[in-house]
Amino acid sequence: MLLQRLVLLARYATLSLSLLLTGCITLGSAPGEPTRHFTLHALSESRATPAESSTQGLTIGVGPIDLPSYLERPQIVTMRQQSEYELSSSAQWGEPLSENVKRVLAANLRELLATDRVVLFPWRRAIPVDLQVVADIQRFDAGPDDQARLVVNWSILDAKGQLLEMQQRRYQEQVGDINEPAAVVAALSRLLAGLSRDFADAILRAGT
């Protein structure tokens, strides 16, 4: 009987100590920094310069747009040094980055080509797409030198999927403050604006 009491007392003491320690850890932990969510932004009407488009009446398809797997995550990624990336603990994308990039490119093309006939991949079979923009993004991030970079292979296809033009391009933008996520996102948005202008020029060439 005495032995059973001692065993029960030992178990009770162990449980109480465990709960006490857990309570101390919880109470003593500092609250984490709140998570901020960001999206890339499209060209504003005031900054876009619509071209005299020869593509009026044509439907432009945007996508597929492929991103490297290291970017396909909620956290905003920055480059610390060559081959080493850092995931932000407090800054995340408000939507999947691949969808955000595709949506912004489409919005930019609507402004630059002065047309609403721009659709996102995948589109319905019933939609006749006359020209298609396809991009394979190799790099899309900001580095410790306060520069954001975009490296991309892109193509323009006709309605039958035949290649009309293919380019490999590199873009670079000043970030300002690599430690401020809003500055990084703004620089990345400017990179997409540069890519969109090249898309628009290529579409105009294909439409003539």
Q: How far is CA 55 from CA 20, 115, 207, in A?
A: 71, 9, 5
The verdict on 86 and 155 lying in the same domain is yes
- Enter the tokens of residue 159: 């309605």
Q: What is the pLDDT of residue 81?
A: 75
The verdict on 81 and 101 lying in the same domain is yes
Range of the domain at 65: 38-207
Structurally, how many domains does the chain consist of?
2
**Strands 84-93 vs 36-38: parallel, antiparallel or unpaired:** parallel
Please state, in angstroms and rounded to a whole number, the distance separating the CA atoms of residues 189 and 159: 29
Chain segment 101-146, per-residue pLDDT in tens? 999 999 999 999 999 999 999 998 888 899 999 999 999 999 888 9
Task: Classify 170 as helix, strand or coil.
Answer: strand
Chain segment 42-95, per-residue pLDDT in tens? 987 545 555 555 667 899 999 999 999 999 999 999 988 777 888 888 899 999
This prediction has a pTM of: 0.80
The verdict on 118 and 176 lying in the same domain is yes
- Given pLDDT bands bounded at 50, 70 and 90, which one contains residue 208? low
Please state, in angstroms and rounded to a whole number, the distance separating the CA atoms of residues 95 and 103: 11
Please state, in angstroms and rounded to a whole number, the distance separating the CA atoms of residues 45 and 11: 70
CATH label of the domain that carries residue 178: 3.40.50.10610
Residue 126 carries which side chain, given as an amino acid letter? A
Which residue, among 52, 33, 189, has the nearest Cα to 112 in the 3D structure?
52
The verdict on 13 and 59 lying in the same domain is no
The verdict on 52 and 97 lying in the same domain is yes
The verdict on 61 and 130 lying in the same domain is yes
- Given pLDDT bands bounded at 50, 70 and 90, which one contains residue 19? very low
Lowest-pLDDT range of 25-34, 77-86, 188-197: 25-34
Residue 155 carries which side chain, given as an amino acid letter? S
Q: How far is CA 161 from CA 65, 67, 104, 155, 204, in A?
A: 15, 21, 23, 10, 17
Query: Does position 98 have pLDDT exceeding 90, yes or no?
Result: yes
The verdict on 115 and 147 lying in the same domain is yes
